[in-house]
């Protein structure tokens, strides 16, 4: 397996889900696959969950882990080919990816979008160049347009908590003071399209997802109506795709409150975290038994472990 960047890299999702459950039940049973192997984690942006859960996943497999925070500790990376590098950048991505490949058996990369140039972000320039110049398999730790490790954990969590074969899952937009990427909702929708769920999306007009992600999924602009009967509410802010990067922070009425949760079928509340309390979700919801955000975060370890195991060649 040369890369893990989206659900399209997963040949058999039910098989991967079954393995994730097995890994979760016996996390240390697979160490022969990771022994004497090294995982490199390269962060161009901040992280808590992805960094630590992937590190723990690798350690559970007996792998050694090296973490590089490029912004603080690395040289400034040049992405363009043919550039005369007499400005601020000091190391070309060609050498950076090539050198990391000398030290690691698998490399994870986190790279956020700039949210200024939509075409550039949606071309996944940094991730693509990194993969092109690495000689070992590359794992996305969240890229400009997708967060597959998060989505895999989200799917496992829904599978664990669902009370019916095909639960109603509602992805709802919520306000946020800063422009956030569309990676989590894009990816969530992409994975849910491959799962046994009844998915719908609710957001204010103007916050449609990119057509390649939103296509075929019912969209409601009335949040209350959309939440009725939901078994899972996945709340997340994203900045606009059309008016690229627009926040909509003034739309405070879209915050998830106990009153809105009462419209649902006693839904479980999900969020990828970090979450801004009382902006995205009210305290009373996050602190209620309906919230499964910590269980969701816990599953990040086991789904990351499943992905690493497959990348290490596990065929069982
Ligand atoms: N959900 C998630 O990816 O969290 P971090 O940004 O902290 O890694």
Considering the chain, what percentage of its residues have pLDDT values greater than 70?
100
∠ CA 171-176-178 to the nearest 5 degrees?
125
Residue 110 alpha carbon to ligand 1 centre in Å: 10
Question: In the predicted model, what is the mean pLDDT of residues 118-137?
Answer: 97
Q: What is the pLDDT of residue 129?
A: 97
Segment 270-291, tens digit of pLDDT: 999 999 999 999 999 999 999 9
Tokens of 232: 């899972």
Q: What is the pLDDT of residue 316?
A: 81
Q: What is the mean pLDDT of the chain?
A: 97
Question: In the predicted model, what is the mean pLDDT of residues 235-248?
Answer: 97
Q: What is the pLDDT of residue 147?
A: 98
| pLDDT at 71 > cutoff 90 | no
Residue 85 alpha carbon to ligand 1 centre in Å: 32
| pLDDT at 295 > cutoff 90 | yes
pLDDT band at 43 (very low <50, low <70, confident <90, very high): very high
pLDDT band at 252 (very low <50, low <70, confident <90, very high): very high
Which domains are seen in the chain, by residue range? 3-147+300-311 (3.40.50.1370), 150-297 (3.40.50.1370)
Neighbours of 212 (CB within 10 A): 11
Residue 274 alpha carbon to ligand 1 centre in Å: 7
CA pair distance 59, 140, nearest whole angstrom = 18
List, edge to edge, every strand of the sheet that includes 106-110.
3-4, 138-140, 106-110, 38-43, 64-69
For residues 111 and 68, is the Cβ–Cβ distance under 8 A? no
Residue 49 alpha carbon to ligand 1 centre in Å: 5
Ligand 1 pocket: which of 152, 178, 272 to mutate (most atoms <8 Å of CB)?
Answer: 272
Q: Is the pTM of this model over 0.95?
A: yes
């Amino acid at each position: 397996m040369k890369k893990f960047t989206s659900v399209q890299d997963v040949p058999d999702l039910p098989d991967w889900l079954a393995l994730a459950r097995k890994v979760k039940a016996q996390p240390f049973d697979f160490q022969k696959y990771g022994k004497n192997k090294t995982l490199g984690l390269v962060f161009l942006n901040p992280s808590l969950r992805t960094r630590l859960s992937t590190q723990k996943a690798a350690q559970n497999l007996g792998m050694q882990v090296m973490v590089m925070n490029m912004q603080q500790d690395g040289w400034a990376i040049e992405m363009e080919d043919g550039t005369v590098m007499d400005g601020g950048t000091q190391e070309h991505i060609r050498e950076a990816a090539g050198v990391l490949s000398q030290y690691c058996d698998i490399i994870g990369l986190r790279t956020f979008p700039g949210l200024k140039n939509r075409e550039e972000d949606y071309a996944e320039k940094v991730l693509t160049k990194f993969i092109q110049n690495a000689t070992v398999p590359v794992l996305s730790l969240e890229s400009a347009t997708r967060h597959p490790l998060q989505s895999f954990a989200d799917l496992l969590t829904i599978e664990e908590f669902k009370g019916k074969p095909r639960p109603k899952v509602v992805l709802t937009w919520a306000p946020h003071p800063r422009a956030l990427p569309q990676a989590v909702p894009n990816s969530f929708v992409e994975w849910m399209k491959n799962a046994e769920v009844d998915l719908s999306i609710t957001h204010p007009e103007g916050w449609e997802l990119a057509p390649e992600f939103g296509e075929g999924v019912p969209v409601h602009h009335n949040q209350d109506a959309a939440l009725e009967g939901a078994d899972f509410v996945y709340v997340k802010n994203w900045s606009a795709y059309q008016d690229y990067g627009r926040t909509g922070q003034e739309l405070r009425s879209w915050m998830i409150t106990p009153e809105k949760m009462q419209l649902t079928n006693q839904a479980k509340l999900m969020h990828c975290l970090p979450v801004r309390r009382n902006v995205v979700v009210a305290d009373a919801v996050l602190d209620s038994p309906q919230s499964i955000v910590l269980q969701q975060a816990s599953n990040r370890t086991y789904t990351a472990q499943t992905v690493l195991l497959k990348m290490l060649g596990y065929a069982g």
